Amino acid sequence: MAFFSKNRERRPTSFYFLAAFFALFVLFLYGPMLTIFILSFQGENGGLTFPMNGFSFHWFGNLFEKQAVGDFGGSFSRSLKLGLIVMVVTVVVSFMAGMAFRKRYKGDSIVFYLAIASLIVPSILISLGIGLLFNIVQWQPQWFTSALGAHLTWTFPFGLLIMFAVFNRFDPSFEEAARDLGASNWQTIQYVVLPMVGPSLIGVAMFSFTLSYDEFARTLMTAGALNTLPLEIYGMTTNVTTPVLYALGTVTTGFSFLVIALALGTVAIMRRRKGQKA
Amino acid sequence: MASDTSKRSSYFLISPMALIFAVFLVIPLLTIVVVSFWDYDEYRILPDFIFENYKYLLGSSVTWSIYLNTLKYAVLTWFFTLIIGFTVAYFLAFHVRSLTWQIVFFMLCTIPFWTSNIIRMISWIPFLGRNGLLNSALINLGIVDQPLEFLLFSDFAVVLADVHLYALFMVVPIFNSMMRIDRSLVEAARDAGASGFETLKSIIVPLSKPGIAIGSIFVITVVMGDFITVRLMSGGQSASVGLQISNEIGLLQYPAAAASAVVLLITVLLIVTALLRLVDIRKEL
């Protein structure tokens, strides 16, 4: 705490250099996004670059006409559904695995190293491997089978690592107290463990949804006949040369932010409820 | 008896994750290894045991230049993300003095990473293009008289986009390591007369090493396997190992793609093994 209370000390010169560097970094992160956000409101005769040729919602309208840019609605709804399935499965399975890892047992490091491997194996290899496997056993790849599995190999490591971080700091005496008071295993999980790790599980949910919703490389050979949204966007980059591309960027980015806002809102509500109970 | 049930429950709890990894990670990777020895013609892949795919791959000078090119992207991206990541993390951890502002600034850095990578790549087009913002500005200021062509669809654009996409992967683990450094060490160094730079060199950098290693693993592996950034940002003018694999997939030359994939996997694993000597990941969580 001593660190924070010495607030009034004079700032060294290096602080101003670092602050300027940080400001530039933020500009670097946000600048390009802002330009496509602005350009998505390009006038009807405007092009892919500045200047703005008027202001319109033309390109957003264009997005929803089926002929103009492929199947935006269908791919969006598939990505949404896939993201939600991945989210639920990741939260449940990561929580279970996190609980399992609190005790040492034979072979526990195998799953841990598989998770790390899953994180560092290039995504295109997962795509290729699953695609080949389905090809050889003659299963039809589908977004809800092969692509789902491919996405889970990407979200599980994050889910597991987050659960590790949570349970490393988790005090088991709360559970012991619950058990001493006669709670069953399930009651202990329901009334003690889940409320305590709840906010982190929301974090896992948000993480896994967004990772799946934006995943491109792992979907490439596993989605089957029907595109997910990132595949659709990728297709557009090669054959669409109008600002409708930017409109799509603005819409999906807006949607991602909505998901974050929802997740943060839920955590805030959970915190408040907990506060009221205490 | 009790430990038996608890062991059994551990196995039960871990089984869904183990099963998914087995079906969608282990078996597919084994499939790649097996198929890399298969033969193929224009229409299908033929079970076989031949070394032609590897002979062709490793005997071709194109492969070596592609690997060199991919390594170049990986090293450059690693270098710039490390400099940026370390500086930003250092600023956040040691110069921002209130926890609230640390959280606010940290969130500010992470928000762009919640959007699609492809969209983030596209967003450079209006900035870097021939008629883009940067070229217009340079021409208006009289610095150049013709638009700079190397800005978009070039190696420069690929590395720029990679740094833009993955800088956070460095910031987060380094920041995490720095926040664990005991502040009294820093004060002790200062009281003992160390300059800011000496403190940085002999305390902060060594103690941030685990974070640096984790960030490096992330950035290097992701760039080594990348194909979409290279394709979009180089405009098809450069190649990377991932792009080569994806092209072979596009041509339905699966055994060739599989052989490339095996070589890439071995390369990545060697790099990671080297970096893991610097850090015990399980301790860092």
Q: pLDDT tens across B150-207, in order? A: 788 889 999 999 999 999 989 999 998 898 888 888 888 888 888 878 888 888 998 8
Final residue of a domain: which of A18, A33, A59? A59
Helix H or strand E encompassing B46? strand B45-46
Between chain A and chain B, the number of residue pairs with CB atoms below 8 A apart is 253
Q: Residue A25: which domain range? A: 2-59
Q: How many residues in total does chain B contain?
A: 285
Task: Say what the alpha-carbon torsion angle A61, A63, A65, A67 is, to the nearest 10 degrees.
Answer: 140
B97 touches chain A (CB under 8 A): yes
The CATH number of whichever domain residue A142 belongs to comes to 1.10.3720.10
Q: Does residue B1 surpass a pLDDT of 50?
A: no
Task: Kindly indicate the confidence band of residue B65, based on its pLDDT and cuts at 50, 70 and 90.
Answer: very high
Task: Kindly indicate the confidence band of residue A5, based on its pLDDT and cuts at 50, 70 and 90.
Answer: very low
CA of B104, closest CA in chain A: separation in Å?
A: 12
Same structural domain, A118 and A235: yes
Averaged pLDDT, A248-269 = 85
CA distances from A78 to A150, B164, B281 (A): 15, 28, 35
Same structural domain, A106 and A181: yes
The set of long-range contacts for A66-71, using a CB threshold of 8 Å and a minimum separation of 24, is A68/A244, A69/A236, A69/A240, A69/A244, A69/A248, A70/A227, A70/A232, A70/A235, A70/A236, A71/A227, A71/A232
Same structural domain, A87 and A120: yes
Chain B CA closest to residue A215:
B116
Lowest mean pLDDT among A62-71, B68-77, B153-162: A62-71
% of chain A exceeding 70 in pLDDT: 93
Averaged pLDDT, A216-222 = 89
Chain B CA closest to residue A167:
B285
The pLDDT value given to residue A184:
84
User: Could you name the CATH architecture of B60-284?
Assistant: Orthogonal Bundle (1.10)
Q: Say whether B21 and A153 touch across the interface (CB within 8 A).
A: yes
Same structural domain, A182 and A237: yes
For B10, which of A26, A100, A233 is closest by C-beta distance? Answer: A100
Which residues of B are less than 8 Å from A92 in CB distance?
A: 16
Q: Does residue A229 surpass a pLDDT of 60?
A: yes
Q: Please, which residues 131-160 of chain B have a Cβ atom closer than 8 Å to chain A?
A: 131-133, 136
Q: What is the distance of C-alpha B225 from the center of its chain?
A: 8
C-alpha to C-alpha distance for B94 and B183, rounded to whole angstroms:
9
Residues contacting residue A180 through CB under 8 Å, at least 6 positions apart: none
More confident residue, B9 or A69: B9
pLDDT tens column, A150-190: 999 999 999 998 898 888 888 888 888 888 888 888 888 88
Same structural domain, A25 and A147: no
C-alpha to C-alpha distance for A54 and A42, rounded to whole angstroms:
6
Which residues of B are less than 8 Å from A94 in CB distance?
A: 17
Same structural domain, A130 and A51: no
Q: Does residue A8 surpass a pLDDT of 70?
A: no
Q: Say whether A117 and B112 touch across the interface (CB within 8 A).
A: no
**Best residue in B122, B135, B191, B234 to probe A by mutation, most A CBs within 10 Å?**
B122
* Strand-pair category, B45-46 with B39-40: antiparallel
A8 found inside a domain:
yes
For B24, which of A30, A93, A152 is closest by C-beta distance? Answer: A152
Task: Enter the DSSP assignment of B95.
Answer: I
Task: Kindly indicate the confidence band of residue A66, based on its pLDDT and cuts at 50, 70 and 90.
Answer: low
The pLDDT value given to residue B281:
65
**Best residue in B11, B12, B25 to probe A by mutation, most A CBs within 10 Å?**
B25
For A129, which of B31, B90, B109 is closest by C-beta distance? Answer: B31
Same structural domain, A13 and A122: no
Task: Kindly indicate the confidence band of residue A35, based on its pLDDT and cuts at 50, 70 and 90.
Answer: confident
Per domain, the residue ranges of chain B are 60-284
The pLDDT value given to residue A4:
45
A218 found inside a domain:
yes
Same structural domain, A111 and A206: yes
Same structural domain, A55 and A77: no
Task: Kindly indicate the confidence band of residue A1, based on its pLDDT and cuts at 50, 70 and 90.
Answer: very low
CA distances from B82 to B155, B174, B277 (A): 19, 9, 18
Same structural domain, A49 and A161: no
Q: Please, which residues 71-90 of chain B have a Cβ atom closer than 8 Å to chain A?
A: 84, 87-88, 90
| Cβ atoms of residues B211 and B174 within 8 Å | yes
- Shortest CA distance to A199 belongs to which of A258, A255, A272? A272
The pLDDT value given to residue A131:
92
Q: Say whether A112 and B282 touch across the interface (CB within 8 A).
A: yes
Number of domains in chain A: 2
Same structural domain, A107 and A26: no
C-alpha to C-alpha distance for A17 and A29, rounded to whole angstroms:
18
Same structural domain, A46 and A180: no
Which residues of B are less than 8 Å from A150 in CB distance?
A: 24
pLDDT tens column, B78-133: 999 999 999 999 999 988 888 888 888 988 888 888 888 888 888 888 888 877 88
Task: Kindly indicate the confidence band of residue B72, based on its pLDDT and cuts at 50, 70 and 90.
Answer: very high
For A130, which of B28, B117, B242 is closest by C-beta distance? Answer: B28
